[in-house]
Amino acid sequence: MAIFAWSGADGLGPPHLEGAIGQVCNGGLGSRHGTRGHTIRLLIGILAAATALITPLIASATVTPNLSPNVGSAHVLWTKAQYTSDAQTDPNQLLYHGGAVETKPAVYLIFWGPEWAKGFSFTVGSFAYTNKTAETYLRDFFGSVGGSPWTGVQTQYCQGAAIGGVSCNGALGAQFVQNPSNLLKGAWVDPSAVPSPIVTTALVENTTNDPVAIEALRASQHFGYNVNATYFILAQPGTVATAYGTVYCAYHSETGHALGARGVRYAFMPYVPEQGSGCGVDSVNQNDAFGHGYYDSYSIVAGHEFAEAVTDPDNYNGTQDGWNDAQGNENGDKCAWTGLQNIALGGQLYAVQPLWSNAAAAGQGACAVSLGS
């Protein structure tokens, strides 16, 4: 595996990646109109390094039936097209590894890049999808998903249970994941420049900087640090990042920190609708003016990231110490790209995936969209 050399002032954490095969394109699905065009610029040296990293991942994905989601210090969810991990088929339970969960989950949305401030628009059929429709969709999803039966699946998990255990029942002093209705704590359009390309060194190791984690640190300074929050770094359309659009849709991670301390928990979410069906576009719904269909990708992938960040938020040099199974799969991995469906939130429907529930199937475990299912 290739190792990227990178230097900087702030340490970063390893990511949990949401995979997708898709084209890296200028304009995404449909035609693009904006204040300036995007030019895909990939420097030869970085392209060579990225190719060295990606090639073994893609090769192993196509020949290995029980592909691990762990790649270096990253946690990978493969694209719908090549997702052959045992995370989908192995019924073994999530195990508690002794670390923290986000006991009172919170979300901050950071719309990163000048295009979010200047404005952009994609035309898909008879519908126009703009920066404002994307912001509205994400704000409304995270503004209403808290307190729902879907997020309630996570309330069975805790910190302080017996290490290796599959249940928190009877654990003295255990702190359970709550299901607050006011999940979304803030949104920020940050017009600062997005590097092109972004060298996401967090794909490989956990001790050096990359621009995504630096933006997460900036977001925590803007909003204030919240150990129970996931800061969503929503990069502008046309963002070029190592392996994005060829290996993953998004990832969640933690910025660098000393052993035993806490970093900033964040998710890197580029403009995933531009990757098409590989990242979930039209997976459940047909396109309409609100964004159903086109933004299925946002709610499926962002929902996956959120769920995993809540139950397995920490990672120190590749060690995951929250809830994951014997193969390292998290609650989103085990149900990824299966059972996709709408849930009703705030008078709208949103496409999501089920989440793994140890309590389901009479305690044998299964994918579920509510704690009682």
Query: Model confidence over 172-200: pLDDT tens digits?
Result: 999 999 999 999 999 999 999 999 898 88
Q: What is the pLDDT of residue 207?
A: 67
Phi-psi region of 119 (alpha: psi -120 to 50; beta: other; left: phi over 0): left
CA distance 187 to 269: 14
Query: Model confidence over 112-154: pLDDT tens digits?
Result: 999 999 999 999 999 999 999 999 999 999 999 999 999 999 9
Give the pair of three-digit tokens for residue 349. 């429907």
Cα 132 vs. chain centroid, distance in angstroms? 21
Nearest to 312 by CA among 118, 158, 104: 158
pLDDT-derived band of residue 317, with 50, 70 and 90 as boundaries? low
**More reliable by pLDDT, 193 or 61:** 193
The residue-averaged pLDDT of 20-48 equals 38
Question: Is the model's pLDDT at 210 over the cut of 90?
Answer: no
CA distance 281 to 79: 12
pTM reported for the whole predicted model: 0.84
pLDDT-derived band of residue 170, with 50, 70 and 90 as boundaries? very high
Burial per residue of 177-191, b for 16 or more beta-carbon CB atoms within 10 angstroms, e otherwise: bbbeeebbbbbbebe
Give the pair of three-digit tokens for residue 236. 């502008």
Residue 109 host element (H or E): strand 106-112
Question: Is the model's pLDDT at 5 over the cut of 60?
Answer: no
Give the pair of three-digit tokens for residue 118. 């200047």
Give the pair of three-digit tokens for residue 312. 């397995």
Q: How do the residues of the chain divide into helix, strand and coil, expressed in percent and rounded to 5?
A: 25, 25, 50
Q: What is the pLDDT of residue 27?
A: 34
Q: What is the pLDDT of residue 261?
A: 72
CB 257 within 8 A of CB 263: yes
Nearest to 336 by CA among 364, 359, 307: 307
The rounded mean pLDDT for the chain is: 81
Q: What is the pLDDT of residue 116?
A: 98
